[in-house]
Structure 1
Amino acid sequence: MAEHIVVVGAGYAGLAAAKLAARWTDSKVTLVNARDRFVERVRLHQFAVGQQLRDVPLAAVLKGTGVELVVDRVTGIDPDARKVQLTNGALTYDRLIYALGSQADLGGVPGAAEHAHAVSTQEDAEELAAALRTARTVAVTGGGLTGIEAAAELAESRPDLDVLLVTAGGFGEALSDKGRRHLVKVFARLGVEVRDHVRVTEVRADGLVLDTGDLVAADTVVWTAGFAVPDLAARAGFAVDGRGRMLVDHTLTSTSHPEVQGIGDAAAMKRHDGLELRMACATGLPTAQKAVRALAKRLGGGVPADRLDFRYLNQCISLGRRDGLIQFVNADDSPKERVLTGRPAARYKELVVRAALMFQRHPTMPAG
């Protein structure tokens, strides 16, 4: 009898995994997602400033694949009964692929949950878009790629706004010298003020309180300082790390439950040499392929590869619609000095984002 594979989460990793499982195995495959649309998460900062995004119904992407779509919210998982509890019922599984992703971590700083906006979900972006209609000063917290992209998009699309980026680290510290110089030049051109090496200790309705004691006035705060994962894996009793991410082996299989695989942001994935893979499309897409390939081999009576080979190629940063920064990196994600900047970089990043959506339609295409 064919096994039943349930995939929870239809983000970049989960949607691809469901389609690959239907293609590479003889199993019945069910995909569960809280929305009936695929969300291009890497474009949500564009949506927040008023740009129109493509409407991508999951039913259309899944048409003809044999994957059954269930639009519902996962509320719990019972690994002993192999059951996924939903708001409106439950599903039993033989194999589970856990791909519930991540969201902005608004719980670590007082006032963030009440007064800050994020760009990690469609609902976040809709709320931010509403807040920006009457905004005059916007403070973006977090100097990672999400914060950099959000600040640049805001400044370019809304020149009427005063935009400030606040980060605990050094501005562009993960980039090469050439990359940092370009980033500083673009932010100066866009008029984005940067305050680095400072920590936010409180978010208030009128702005940010810093560890220096200063108040940074802002009528809208965009929070990109870290991400958190759902607590479902921990509540279910799966082995998790200190951040609640599912612990997996080189085949992306749960270290505590061999019938479960974890992929995407909600899994703590490591290369064969121990390097932890970062939360990113660049990680999620190829590891979704690797996970389902390993599962298909097991179901077919074979033995999966004995190591997780993975290498990074670049970090792609949009700086508005007319500029960008492609930071080429070594296999371990450390920066090379080589970069691509300006309009060619903006076009490069746009191609990468379009390819990520194309991958959902054709998940067997090379992903890294």
Structure 2
Amino acid sequence: MTNSRETGTHRVLILGAGYAGMAAAIQLAARGKRREDVRVTLVNAQERFTERLRLHMSATGQPVAELSIPELLEGTGARFVRGWVTAVDADAKLVRIDDDRVLHYDTLVYGLGSVADTAAVPGVEDHAYTLNSVQDAELLADRLARLGRGTVVVGGSGLTGVESAAEIAERYPELDVVLVGRQEPGAAMSPRPRAYLRAALARLGVRVLSGVEVVKVLPDAVELAGGELVAADAVLWTSGTRVSPLAAAAGLTVDERGRVVTDATLRSVSHPDVYAVGDAAAIRQGYGVMHGTCQGGMPTGVHAAVSIVRTLDGRRPKAFRFGYYHTPVSLGRHDAVVQFTHPDDSPRRVYLTGRMAARYKETVTASPWPTYGRMKKLPASGAFWPRGGRFTRIRGAR
């Protein structure tokens, strides 16, 4: 790694303050407090930290904490820049943001994340709500509050769709909620927790249409592949995700979904001065390519920070190793199902349901504020991420 010729300072630029980007920024700043040769800058489009795991609550009008990114960075020495990233020049090592500012870097951490794919199905962009941001969730909350009676279709039977359908049905029992998707809800779970999930949705009055595909979203309905129309006064789209095209446009090697392809240490295979973290990265482990979750995102951010410090100290970064631990799914405020998993995300026999599962999920998906606060106080010799409500040391962090 080289330092800026002008200042002698190594400039680390982190794009995106999601779970992964924020973890990278705080971990790197904490480990570099006593160094004067590293400057950490975090770029994000807004000052508010988005708790994506709670957007289904915001979408039903429930209050959630407003977390400030600048406040969270206080005392770390990391600098915050608010702005939309409009271009990355990986060869010139610079980033452009929407107010025409240009930010230079020596090392880039690319963590711009993913959003709901509103382009794959006609009409989604124009007629459906998403949970891409707090603002998007609040738009849906306003619509639901004004509906009175009617039908809400949730497109996508993955975990986000299930949690959203359950939350809407519990919060607004007068509404008809229809969950539509190609797979059965909880398809990756073992039979008993999957059955519990389906029974919970039924108790809440959620109508499930599985094994079907939405081919078009209309102003007042969704059209299924067989031509059937399902009436809808509001549509929430949670099916599929897409990443920013900026990485591909920058010349970084990306996979078929546009995610940055990394080596074992999370460096771009085409540009080793770029690390990719979270949903923006195609990270291969022994069981395959990781899928995007907060559970995996934060460890990638921490590992990138550790690797950067190791490299600055003249040591080689170590390979990233990660195994999944659980799949917690809320079913309203007082019910949930938690499927414990093998490292490859396949289900174990162990699971939790009911209020115990709800308390467990609340613990492991609680506000990241305390977690990030602990990161700021970590000793320089260790790196940790939260797992199952506790901190676990990263193997090879030293």
Q: Same fold (TM over 0.5)?
A: yes
Partner of 2:374: 362
Partner of 2:42: 31
Following the alignment from structure 2 to structure 1, what is the Cα–Cα distance between the partners of residues 55 and 15?
22
Q: How many residues are paired up?
A: 366
Partner of 1:68: 79
Partner of 2:391: none
Report the AA paired with residue 386 of structure 2: A
Deviations 1:90-142 (A, max 9, x none): 11011100011111000000101111111121222122112212332100011
Q: TM-score, normalised by structure 1?
A: 0.97
> Residue 202 of structure 1: SS of its match in structure 2?
strand
Residue 302 of structure 2: which of 289, 292, 298 is its match?
A: 289
Residue 132 of structure 2: which of 109, 120, 123 is its match?
A: 120
- 1:354 Cα deviation after fit: 1.2
Q: CA RMSD in A?
A: 1.2
Does structure 2 retain, via aligned residues, the 8 Å contact 1:201–1:211? yes
Write out aligned runs for 1:48-87 (5 A).
48-87=59-98
Does structure 1 retain, via aligned residues, the 8 Å contact 2:266–2:275? yes
Following the alignment from structure 1 to structure 2, what is the Cα–Cα distance between the partners of residues 66 and 75?
25
Partner of 1:201: 215
Does structure 1 retain, via aligned residues, the 8 Å contact 2:72–2:369? no
Report the AA paired with residue 295 of structure 1: I
Q: Does 1:129 align with 2:141?
A: yes
Q: Does 1:256 align with 2:254?
A: no
- 1:276 Cα deviation after fit: 1.1
Does structure 1 retain, via aligned residues, the 8 Å contact 2:162–2:185? no
Does structure 1 retain, via aligned residues, the 8 Å contact 2:61–2:142? no
Deviations 1:133-187 (A, max 9, x none): 2332100011111000000000111111110100111232111101111011101
> Residue 80 of structure 1: SS of its match in structure 2?
coil
Q: TM-score, normalised by structure 2?
A: 0.90
Report the AA paired with residue 302 of structure 1: R
> Residue 117 of structure 1: SS of its match in structure 2?
coil
Q: Which runs of 5+ in 1 are unaligned?
A: none
Q: Which runs of 5+ in 2 are unaligned?
A: 1-7, 376-382, 388-398
State the percentage of identical aligned residues. Answer: 44
Partner of 1:170: 184
Residue 314 of structure 2: which of 301, 317, 320 is its match?
A: 301
Partner of 2:235: 221
Does structure 1 retain, via aligned residues, the 8 Å contact 2:114–2:241? yes
Partner of 1:245: 259
Following the alignment from structure 2 to structure 1, what is the Cα–Cα distance between the partners of residues 328 and 369?
16
Following the alignment from structure 2 to structure 1, what is the Cα–Cα distance between the partners of residues 287 and 344?
10
Partner of 2:392: none
Partner of 1:318: 330
Q: Does 1:334 align with 2:346?
A: yes
Q: Does 1:349 align with 2:368?
A: no
Deviations 1:46-70 (A, max 9, x none): 0110100101111110100000011
